[in-house]
A = this chain, B = another copy of it.
Amino acid sequence: MSTEPAATLAVSTVIFALRPDEESGLNALWLPLVRRTREPHLGEWALPGGWLPVDEELPAAAARTLRETTGLAPKYLEQLYTFGDIGRSPGGRVISVVYWALVQSDEAEVVAVGENVRWFPADHLPRLAFDHNRIVEYALWRLRTKVEYARIAHAFLGETFTLTQLREVHEAVLQKALDPANFRRTIEASGTVVDTGLRVAGAPHRPPRLYRYNDTAPASPNRTRA
């Protein structure tokens, strides 16, 4: 065993927002990317991020670098995965601890889009710097294989939502149409949402019920408020 530093630590973040697809108008997953202004990979698009200072906690560094590059400040950042392959960065080994968040449309609006910051559809990315395409693919895989309907909807929709809104979120994430009756049965059997007893205000006839995320399910002991 040696205490020689083996690698440099970095943080990156994957932020997903729901936005309408430019052609179809249907909701899809988008994420903000930042154009690199230095080597390596000068001019290429990359995930927001930066080096980890020795005196800054991991989630704080992820939140700060995200804010500095894009203006985004999600309520929660969750650790996604750590990428540390030997060859992933030219000029020395870099271990990147990657955080992620799902943000609501109003949170996403603060991004100052310009020459060096832009939203991209998650399923149609250009070739990104480093192994960032692989990181986004992994994040999409986690999102799509997690059968956490309600938690994802909570993150995208806020405190209360209708079952139709919930289904639309999942159609956007999975990029396929879901049968409304099957979806309702799956959700009701899962126990992950709770009927609030309230209904959508101002709807003319039979206003839809409002549900909320069932937060009696245990939360991660490592969930981080950024």
Interface, chain A (partner B; CB < 8 A)? 1-9, 50-58, 79, 81-82, 84-86, 92-93, 95, 97, 134, 137-138, 141, 144-145, 147, 189, 217-218, 220-222
Chain B contacts of A55 at CB under 8 A? 86
Would B84 and A57 count as touching, CB distance under 8 A?
Answer: yes
Given contacts A9-B7, A55-B86, A84-B97, contact A218 B141 (CB under 8 A): yes
Interface of A is mostly: loop
- Chain B's nearest CB lies how many Å from the CB of A111? 21
Would B86 and A138 count as touching, CB distance under 8 A?
Answer: no
List the 10 closest pairs (A to B, CB-CB), nearest first: A5-B5, A6-B54, A82-B82, A58-B84, A6-B52, A6-B9, A1-B51, A82-B97, A7-B9, A1-B50
- Chain B's nearest CB lies how many Å from the CB of A4? 8
Would A52 and B138 count as touching, CB distance under 8 A?
Answer: no
